[in-house]
Amino acid sequence: MLKEKSILKFMKIFPTKKIGIDLGTSSSLVYVAKEGIVYNQPSLVTLNKKTGQLVAFGYEAQKMVGRTPAHLSVVKPLVGGVISDFEIAQQLLKYFLDQLREKSFLFARFFVALSIPCGVTEVEKKAVEDATKDAGASRVFLIEEPIAAALGARLPIKEAKGFMVVDIGGGTSEIAVISLGGIVNYKSLRIAGDKMDSEIINYISEEYKVLIGQPTAEELKKTIGSVYGKFSDLPDSMLIKGRDLFSGLPKEIEVFSKDVRRAIERPVSQIIESVKNVIEETPPELVADIMKNGIFLSGGGSLLRGIDQLLEKETGVKTIIVNDPLTAVVRGTGILIENQDNLEELGIKI
């Protein structure tokens, strides 16, 4: 008993760092209490297959995509919003905590709030929690992405009112109706930004007989992509380079904005159809609230030109892109971890 008290007294000497993490399929963001966002980079790592060591993270790893020798491999630790490689995810999380440990105190304790998709299983939740603890976290609190996004957008979700949040990330699209701090109805789709990139790659391959990589597809989506309406700042076309499927040689082609719109039409339609389904399955009182408050869009997919206009046209509900949608989720985890009352009010076990 005396030994346990001594350990607790010893632990209280060292500072506790409260951290929010949005470990996404495409990007990882880290929020430190009272400091804000300290890390925002792609969820990529470069693995040395001979030694098993990770040699690059984030943007440094992104530079190596499609350019590595045989002994190096650029890996995504998450696929569809869930951990696909436990060891690499754990090393990535350890990298985050080690960076913070170097900036503060060697024996700092870490309390971590980490966002997860709505549809994850208990086994997947346990995997995320174990990976975070193995990386060095003292305590881990899991929060569903739509709730984190709503908190980050400063929506009053603890009130007896209905709010609809659609978070379109890289691996998943999270659609949820929230009231009294909890999720009333939701749908989690493994159709999001990465799926759109895949559709663009397939379209260019079929229509132009040219093979391109994921970074080029993403650049096309961001530069000339749209789903509805006309935009004065949208270029009509973009020159890209790829490999000719017939000759196997490099080839430059001009891709038009209408090509990108056609390519991503199917995944965008699936997301919108799912939003409609969630609204149809929501209690009438909350539907009335949604009609009044609107649909709130967050995540990188919300920046796709015209997606808010198309969603509003298809549902008849005003659609609002939240402030700084790319960081809404991680800001929500930060708001959650900074105040213990937030955890208790949202029913998160402390």
Q: Which run of H or E residues covers position 166?
A: strand 163-168
In a domain, 3, yes or no: no
Which positions ≥6 away from 126 have C-beta within 8 Å? none
Q: Provide mean pLDDT across the span 7-17.
A: 57
Residue 225 token pair: 């992509």
When comparing pLDDT for 142 and 9, which is higher? 142
Q: How high is the pLDDT of residue 295?
A: 97
Q: Provide mean pLDDT across the span 51-75.
A: 88
Instruction: Please state, in angstroms and rounded to a whole number, the distance separating the CA atoms of residues 66 and 19.
Output: 33
Give whole-number Cα distances, 78 to 28, 42, 84, 140, 293, in Å.
10, 11, 5, 18, 33
- Upper half-sphere CA count for residue 178 (Cβ side, 13 Å): 29
Which positions ≥6 away from 316 have C-beta within 8 Å? none
Residue where a domain terminates, one of 265, 287, 306: 265
Q: What percent of the chain has pLDDT over 90?
A: 65
Instruction: Please state, in angstroms and rounded to a whole number, the distance separating the CA atoms of residues 311 and 271.
Output: 9
Q: How high is the pLDDT of residue 338?
A: 86
Taking a C-beta distance cutoff of 8 angstroms, is the pair 182, 345 a contact? no
Q: How high is the pLDDT of residue 254?
A: 97
When comparing pLDDT for 217 and 123, which is higher? 217
Q: How high is the pLDDT of residue 7?
A: 44
Instruction: Please state, in angstroms and rounded to a whole number, the distance separating the CA atoms of residues 327 and 29.
Output: 8
Instruction: Please state, in angstroms and rounded to a whole number, the distance separating the CA atoms of residues 176 and 184.
Output: 7
Q: How high is the pLDDT of residue 78?
A: 84
In a domain, 292, yes or no: yes
Q: Provide mean pLDDT across the span 173-201.
A: 95
Q: How high is the pLDDT of residue 105?
A: 53
Which 8-state DSSP code applies to residue 246? T
Q: How high is the pLDDT of residue 273?
A: 97
Instruction: Please state, in angstroms and rounded to a whole number, the distance separating the CA atoms of residues 300 and 347.
Output: 28
Q: In this structure, what are the phi and psi dihedrals at residue 160, rounded to the nearest 5 degrees?
A: -85, 60
Range of the domain at 143: 14-148+329-345
pLDDT band for position 80 (cuts 50, 70, 90): confident
For the cut 70, the answer to whether the pLDDT of residue 144 exceeds it is yes
Which 8-state DSSP code applies to residue 322? P
CATH code of 231's domain = 3.90.640.10
For the cut 80, the answer to whether the pLDDT of residue 276 exceeds it is yes
Q: Do 19 and 41 lie in a common domain?
A: yes
CATH code of 125's domain = 3.30.420.40
Q: Do 180 and 306 lie in a common domain?
A: yes
For the cut 50, the answer to whether the pLDDT of residue 4 exceeds it is no
Q: Do 65 and 207 lie in a common domain?
A: no
Q: Do 98 and 240 lie in a common domain?
A: no
pLDDT band for position 240 (cuts 50, 70, 90): very high
Q: Do 178 and 213 lie in a common domain?
A: no
In a domain, 8, yes or no: no
Q: Do 121 and 225 lie in a common domain?
A: no
Taking a C-beta distance cutoff of 8 angstroms, is the pair 23, 329 a contact? no
Q: How high is the pLDDT of residue 162?
A: 95
Residue given tokens 């690499």 in the structure block: 88
Q: Do 68 and 47 lie in a common domain?
A: yes
For the cut 90, the answer to whether the pLDDT of residue 100 exceeds it is no
Q: Do 186 and 55 lie in a common domain?
A: no
Number of folded domains in the chain? 3
Q: Do 253 and 298 lie in a common domain?
A: no
Q: How many angstroms from the chain centroid is the CA of residue 49? A: 27
Which positions ≥6 away from 135 have C-beta within 8 Å? 90, 91, 93, 94, 96, 97
Q: Do 247 and 139 lie in a common domain?
A: no
Which 8-state DSSP code applies to residue 258? H
Q: How high is the pLDDT of residue 103?
A: 63
In a domain, 1, yes or no: no
- Give the pLDDT confidence of 147-162 residue by residue, as tens digits: 999 999 999 999 999 9
Torsion of CA 51, 104, 139, 329, to 10 degrees: -90
pTM (2 d.p.):
0.88
Q: Provide mean pLDDT across the span 175-190.
A: 94
For the cut 50, the answer to whether the pLDDT of residue 11 exceeds it is no
